[in-house]
Structure 1
Amino acid sequence: MSNPLSAFDLVQLRQRRSVKWAEYGPEVLPVWVAEMDTPLAEPVAAALTAAIGRGDTGYAKPGGLLEAFAGFAERRYGWRADPAGMRLVPDVMTGIVEALGQVTAQGDAVVVNSPGYPPFFYWLERIGREVVRSPGLDLDRLERDFAAGAKAYLLCNPHNPTGRVYTAEQLRAVAGLADRYGVRVVVDEIHAPLTYPGERHVPFATIDAESAARSITLVSASKAWNLAGLKAALAVPGPQARAEVAAIHEEVSEGAGLFGVIASEAAFTQGEPWLDALLTGLDENRRLLARLLAEHVPAVGYEVPQATYLAWLDCRGLGIEGDPAELFLERGEVALSPGPRYGVPGFARFNFATAPERVTEAVLRMAKALTDR
């Protein structure tokens, strides 16, 4: 199967109306928000085309999506998730908000690793939770944060923006701390299908611990198959969290889109060959990016991610005052995601889910921005 990342040229991509390509003018090369420059996987496109043909554009029901994810999780991770306990939600962030609404109360402290996905921070504040920023996965710091009275921990695995995949040993240590301090764990595993060959994604729910049995995991096909705008995700409870997931109001499920359900079901049941071809292309790009940065912008620190199509770039060695992403945009006409939004200044996030030649062009523009200062 050919590389999905090379299917479209710039002219075709600039015709898109999604935020990645519509946010900036045609002079800017966007490598920021988490969208991929790919066509749809063939089974997904076929399922959506068939739905359009029959005028199937009404309200969403889960259909076979719950079973489809359960089968995918067992094949891919050895996780036997029970479809009977799952709840359809519009997207992972909505699911996180609803899950935390079930396991915490107004004013409760929720630990979030920093850097972290920006909506984690502002959504927790919106729902009246105290955000406790815990740098990295530092177990000593995590224990102090738990011991200080945290009620929940929002774990992102694989991690956005660093692309780290946590080992079973690390997750067992997290679970042990959560057990000790009575902390509920809500897990974002949206990037799990994008784990590279040679790495292993371990679902937190598979850890042998009470906190894992009481955990709620949010999953979706949206990142791996580029379906974010279609709106469908699942809240998957551990055996001891089924009542709380069941208590999520059914109106929340009604916010999911039928096209999201149809597309996700096709992705989980028939989309693995396309996903494997995508991962081959992304694997080449993550290594290409390392070579390009070393050659053209050697002062930028970059740890090749174990999962995701996101590179977390340490720009502190460049001696830039202010946000590096702002400089790259203004002087290099390349758009990266600003590190301060993730809670860490001096960094920027680079989305390499595009054709290799555009990865190359983006790095050359970054280098030019630095020489033009």
Structure 2
Amino acid sequence: MSDDCVPGARVPDVPASGAPASGAPASGEEGNPLRRLSLAELRRRTSAKWRTYPPDVLPLWVAEMDAMPAGAVTRALTAALALGDTGYPWGPGYAEAWDSFARKRWGWDGVAPERTATVADVMRGSVEMLKLVTGPGDAVVVSPPVYPPFYGFVEHEDRRVVEAPLGEDGRLRASALEAAFRRATAGGRRAAYLLCNPHNPTGTVHTRAELTAVAELANAYGIRVVADEIHAPLVLPGAQYVPYLSVPGAEDAFCLLSASKAWNLAGLKAAVAVAGPAAADDLARLPQIVSHGPSHLGVVAHTAALRDGGDWLDALLPALDDNRRLLGELLERHLPEIRYLRPEGTYLAWLDCRALGLGDDPAAVFLERGRVALSGGLPFGTGGAGHVRLNFAASPEVLTEAVRRMAAAVGR
């Protein structure tokens, strides 16, 4: 099947910016990373984004970017393979790279390498932190709509999920958190809060005031906070990332960091768990076997990205900002019924499609009628029905065609 199964729907299989067909930038690391590959080149990929659906579908669902890796990453991996350096990870280099990056980018000195542990990935690492401070049957609070694995991983570890839903504006609500914290700790049980900062799927970047309120409530109810901050480097103009561990009262919390989302390295597994000063003794109880999870090549790639991939990230962020704006314009023009919660970070857009009358799962309609794959909202928990999540880390041409197909799917 071809890309023009919907009339007029073909996307040209040429690099949108005139870059070489190899995907390499014309010079250095400059240029929009999302405009270096043609659709034909992208369809040669064998990852989940490109192989889950038939080739006539435009995939804007799973969190993979349509970009080549940063040159620093490619060079580091090529050198490692040339040496046969494909063994087990070792040493503090990854944590040290995060420490340096955080100081330069955010002016934050909280990634103290002596209070870190390298883990397989952010989700697995989050679960390991939760296991340090809760037991079977204890509650873990989440704020839906939220990344679906928060539910699956927590429940798989025999913990109870208690919801503290976001407001209609996609922001944390102190009243909902307090009610959830009260339920979670009823009967004197231990409990934790799995925070998503920046938030997936809404793209909300929590403010210092909001996070300080979280810490105050957590301390009042004896809740331990584990912050998934995988999207931290992907904060867009107009917002500012605030590390949860940097706010007053968060000293006994944990955060999880990884270069995987910002540099498109999901297939190269590695993450760092960081303990606040008052959580260092808890982190010291982490079984040594947990450190066997990360990939050595993942650590090599992530470390190179953090140390030498800043120019690539600096080129990506304005491209995402442009796409964020373009998506809003396209929806206003073609699908004005959709409520677009403009993301402050990530490359994910949370779209309220309820006014279109497509039922609880509009993603199924857009896939069947428009051949566009989006993430359905139901698995994101309370607030997900009637919504879809759209990944706008694609070329402007692909993004434009996807919205055109979505509009055609509902007769627009």
2:403 is aligned with 1:363: yes
AA matched with 1:106: P
Deviation digits for residues 36-57 of structure 1 (CA, Å, limit 9, x no counterpart): 0100001111101111111111
* Aligned 1:1-373 pairs, distance under 5 A: 1-80=30-109, 81-136=111-166, 137-150=172-185, 151-209=191-249, 212-343=250-381, 344-371=384-411
2:327 match: secondary structure: helix
2:184 match: secondary structure: coil
Please tell me whether the aligned partners of residues 92 and 113 of structure 2 are also in contact (alpha carbons under 8 angstroms).
Answer: no
Distance across 2 between alignment mates of 1:294 and 1:198: 21
AA matched with 1:78: G
AA matched with 2:274: V
Distance across 2 between alignment mates of 1:327 and 1:228: 28
2:163 match: secondary structure: strand
Displacement of 1:217: 0.3
* Paired residue total: 370
Please tell me whether the aligned partners of residues 130 and 226 of structure 2 are also in contact (alpha carbons under 8 angstroms).
Answer: yes
Displacement of 1:63: 4.4
Distance across 1 between alignment mates of 2:91 and 2:42: 31
Deviation digits for residues 217-272 of structure 1 (CA, Å, limit 9, x no counterpart): 00100000011111000100000111222222222211110111001111111111
AA matched with 2:241: H
Root-mean-square deviation (CA, aligned residues, Å) is 1.0
Distance across 2 between alignment mates of 1:76 and 1:100: 28
AA matched with 2:149: P
Point out where structure 1 has 5 or more consecutive residues left out of the alignment. none
Distance across 2 between alignment mates of 1:246 and 1:56: 29
2:164 match: secondary structure: strand
2:403 match: secondary structure: helix
AA matched with 1:181: Y
Displacement of 1:189: 0.3
Please tell me whether the aligned partners of residues 62 and 261 of structure 1 are also in contact (alpha carbons under 8 angstroms).
Answer: no
| Stretches of 4+ aligned residues off by more than 4 angstroms | none
Distance across 2 between alignment mates of 1:64 and 1:123: 28
TM-score, normalised via structure 1 length: 0.98
Distance across 2 between alignment mates of 1:38 and 1:247: 39
Displacement of 1:109: 1.1
1:116 match: secondary structure: coil
Deviation digits for residues 260-305 of structure 1 (CA, Å, limit 9, x no counterpart): 1001111111111110100010000000000000000111110211
AA matched with 1:362: A
